[in-house]
């Protein structure tokens, strides 16, 4: 497909914004039961008594929701060749039921591969905002993209 973004389309400093993703209480419980069964993600009384002072999504759940927005906003629109992991992920503010998340990403780095001339690595700084426009999570995510030429 010629309408896909390629490595050359991602210049340092280029910004993108995505969302909205609405977080539900049921989704928080479902994710926690399956992947992060800590009491403060599974029980409202335990959550209220915790340092979070209320029910909140697991940080790993926030990562998964971020990945969904990132995939729909960029990855599925690119000549993507995979990923190499996540260099950083930090949970700054709790994500609560009813929060509407949005994602802003900025191209941090773009480097051609020395070993594979047909691809390059693009690293994105990702900021997830909650309903109150507070940064809830930050991450730094590199992906591998096909060259357009």
**Predicted local distance difference test score (pLDDT) of residue 2:** 59
Average pLDDT on 56-64 reads: 96
Contact residues for 58 (Cβ-Cβ < 8 A; gap 6+): 28, 31, 32, 35, 36, 38, 41
Q: What is the pLDDT of residues 68-119, one digit of tens each?
A: 999 999 999 998 898 888 889 999 999 999 999 999 999 999 999 889 889 9
What does 92-123 look like in DSSP terms, one character per residue? -SPPPTT-EEEEEEEEEEEEE-SS-TTEEEEE
pTM for the whole structure = 0.91
Tell me: pLDDT of 149 over 80.
no
* Separation of alpha carbons 83 and 142, rounded Å: 6
Tell me: pLDDT of 1 over 60.
no
């Amino acid at each position: 497909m010629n309408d896909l973004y390629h490595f050359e389309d991602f210049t340092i400093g280029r910004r993108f914004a995505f969302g909205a993703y609405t977080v539900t209480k049921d989704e928080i419980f479902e994710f926690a039961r399956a992947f992060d069964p800590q009491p403060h993600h599974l029980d409202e009384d335990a959550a209220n008594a915790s340092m979070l002072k209320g029910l909140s999504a697991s940080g790993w759940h926030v990562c998964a929701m971020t990945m969904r927005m990132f995939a729909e906003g960029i990855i599925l629109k690119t000549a993507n060749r995979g990923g190499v992991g996540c260099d950083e992920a930090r949970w700054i503010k709790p994500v609560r039921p009813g929060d509407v998340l949005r994602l802003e990403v900025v191209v941090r780095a773009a480097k051609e591969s020395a070993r594979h001339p047909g691809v390059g690595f693009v690293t994105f700084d990702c900021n997830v905002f909650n309903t109150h426009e507070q940064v809830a999570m930050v991450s730094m995510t590199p992906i591998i993209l096909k060259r357009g030429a």
